[in-house]
Amino acid sequence: MGRSSHLLATASKDRTVRIWRLTIQEDDHLQADVEEVARKHHHDSEVWRVEWNVTGTMLASSGDDGTVRMWKSDFEGNWACVNTICGDLGPVVAPPPMDLRTS
């Protein structure tokens, strides 16, 4: 989830990156309304992974097309691909984050 707001990003086999807004309901039961705010079809094949930066303001996606794409929203909340990194040898994937508390 993005840390600057209640945003969730998903990777998909249908080549899409989706960004969702979660609105938490403040009542006796923990509930959230979920709204899709962006659906991006920039990858040429399956998207394997999405990862927020530490402040939750940018999103990276990687997949089977050998690219890493960087996503950022403008002041109106419109998400766009702002950079693409192309791999020369095939698929690009990010390793899982390290837990520095146990390193």
pLDDT per residue of the chain (103 residues) written in tens, 0 to 9: 544 348 999 999 999 999 999 887 777 677 778 899 999 998 889 999 999 998 888 999 999 988 899 999 998 989 999 999 997 655 556 666 656 555 4
Q: What is the pLDDT of residue 100?
A: 54
pTM over 0.85: no
Encode 7-40: b = buried (16+ Cβ within 10 Å), e = exposed. Answer: bbbebbeebbbbbbbeeeeeeeeeeeeeeeebeb
Q: What is the pLDDT of residue 42?
A: 87
Domain boundaries, the chain: 7-86
